[in-house]
Amino acid sequence: MDVEAENVEQVPRDEILQLYRSMVLIRRFEDKAYELFSQNLIPGTLHLSAGQEAVAAGVCGALRNEDYVESTHRGHGHCIAKGADVKRMMAELMGKRDGYCKGKGGSMHIADFNVGILGAEGIVGAGLPIAVGAALSCKLQGLDRVVACFFGDGAANNGTFGESLNMAAIWNLPVIFVCENNLYAMSVPYFKAFAIENIADRAAGYGLPGVVVDGMDVLKVYQAASMAVSRARKGEGPTLIECKTYRWRGHSRLKSHESKLYSPDEYEQWRKRDPIEVFKAKGLLSQEEVSAIEEEAEALIREAVEYALNSPYPEPEEAVQDVYV
């Protein structure tokens, strides 16, 4: 599939606005979460996706509300782009009762079945077989739905990757495997964990198409995802999309320290390709549209923080509830 050849004119106007809206909301959410975490208002740990917004926005932009998303430990962006409510996400991050999981899951385990978010995962690579099962279920039930499964470059070295791609291929399932190759799995840089240039090349070995996309360009991601989605809907089976991207912050918690171990100017180079700036530079939106979207995002995040701060903690005894149906 040749992604470059696709034409921007073919992307509907409201889609273009929505792609930008998603990216800006994700960025504001992640920046705010970082700030709240630094103030000890969010316990535990956080895996932030600032820098990777184009992947979440582009892929989810190509999905319908009833399509599914399987997310990861770095999943805030996927959830926001798929339509999750930032109020309930923020409350969950703080461990509050009005959070998506009533405080039981936290940042790493957000789910919203009303908008097709099957859940974020704490176990790297564990989402792939689940996505395969969801896609199988869609097929068996004759539902016209597809599943987008996000995972990192690190996950592509887990055994579940091979098992899942193979199974999806032999069963011709409507699933899109989206590898967010942000060049690091915690501290380990890509070149130390892979002997190949592109993870997408592995697709051939399992009998599905593999595509490499510039993960800092939301339109390219959107177009690649749209093609994969349309293949899946037509019953033509799974696709692996590898998005080359980068995260602004460290693996979890606070500042980036990993990349300094290997390449001092790498961070600066990637910052120049900020997906939000790259998009703005295309000049597709007017200054008014840009400002309106940014203000709207600010307001949503302000509201979310207030909502989360005002939400009570769960009662301690709730810890033993919901163990069984």
Partner 1 sequence: MREITYVEALREALREEMRRDGRVFLLGEDIGPYGGAFTVTKGLIEEFGPERVRDTPISESAIVGAAVGAAITGMRPVAEIMFGDLTALAMDQICNQAAKIHYMFGGQTSCPMVLRTPFGGGVNIAEHHSQSLEAWFVHVPGLKVVAPSTPYDAKGLLKSSIRDENPVVFCEHKQLYRVKGPVPEEEYLVPIGSGDVKRVGEDVTVVATMWMVHKALKAADMLAEEGIKVEVVDPRTLNPLDKKAIVESVMKTNRAVVVSEDVKTCGITAEISAVIVEEAFDYLDAPVVRIANPDAPIPFSPPLENYVIPSEERIVNAVRKIVKGEV
Ligand X SMILES: Cc1ncc(C[n+]2csc(CCOP(=O)(O)OP(=O)(O)O)c2C)c(N)n1
Site string for partner 1, 111-140 (x = CB under 8 A): ----------xxxxxx--------------
- Read off the amino acid at residue 299: A
104 binds, among partner 1, ligand X, none (CB under 5 to 8 A by kind): partner 1
184 binds, among ligand X, partner 1, none (CB under 5 to 8 A by kind): ligand X
43 forms part of the interface with partner 1 (CB under 8 A): yes
Query: What's the chain's Rg over C-alpha atoms?
Result: 19
Q: Closer to partner 1 by CB, 20 or 184: give it.
A: 184
Residues 6 or more apart whose CB falls under 8 angstroms from that of 313 comprise 95, 96, 97, 103
Q: Closer to partner 1 by CB, 320 or 325: give it.
A: 320
**How far apart are CB 307 and ligand X at their closest, in Å?**
27
For 303, the enclosing helix (H) or strand (E) is helix 287-310
Beta bridge partners of 149: 70, 177
Tell which one of 95, 127, 129, 237 touches partner 1 (CB under 8 A): 95
325 binds, among partner 1, ligand X, none (CB under 5 to 8 A by kind): none
Q: Closer to partner 1 by CB, 265 or 317: give it.
A: 317
Question: Hey, what are 259's tokens?
Answer: 């990349």
Distances (CA, A) of 202 to 106, 131, 156, 212: 33, 18, 9, 11
What are the b/e assignments for 195-229, b being 16+ CB within 10 Å?
eeeebbebbeebebbbbbbbbbbbbbbbbbbbbbb
184 forms part of the interface with ligand X (CB under 6 A): yes
197 forms part of the interface with partner 1 (CB under 8 A): no
**How far apart are CB 180 and partner 1 at their closest, in Å?**
14
Nearest C-alpha neighbor of 94 from the set 318, 322, 320, 312: 312
238 forms part of the interface with ligand X (CB under 6 A): no
Tell which one of 33, 36, 55, 108 touches partner 1 (CB under 8 A): 108
If binding means CB under 6 A, how many residues of this protein chain bind ligand X?
A: 16
Q: Closer to partner 1 by CB, 51 or 154: give it.
A: 154
74 binds, among partner 1, ligand X, none (CB under 5 to 8 A by kind): ligand X
CA 301, CA 310: separation in Å to the nearest integer? Answer: 14
Per CB under 6 A, the segment of 5-13, 78-86, 120-128, 228-236 that binds ligand X is 120-128
Question: Hey, what are 166's tokens?
Answer: 């193979």
193 forms part of the interface with ligand X (CB under 6 A): no
CA 55, CA 178: separation in Å to the nearest integer? Answer: 9
Q: Which residues in the chain belong to E strands, given as ranges?
A: 68-70, 117-119, 147-152, 175-181, 184-185, 188-189, 210-214, 239-244
103 forms part of the interface with partner 1 (CB under 8 A): yes
Q: Closer to ligand X by CB, 76 or 251: give it.
A: 251
58 forms part of the interface with ligand X (CB under 6 A): no
Question: Hey, what are 101's tokens?
Answer: 């999981």
Distances (CA, A) of 47 to 36, 76, 107, 112, 259: 13, 8, 8, 19, 16
Site for ligand X in 65-84 (CB under 6 A): 73-74
The site for ligand X (CB under 6 A) is made up of: 47, 73-74, 122-125, 152-155, 182, 184-186, 251
The site for partner 1 (CB under 8 A) is made up of: 43-45, 95-96, 101, 103-106, 108-109, 121-126, 154-155, 157-159, 185-188, 192-193, 258, 261, 313-320, 323
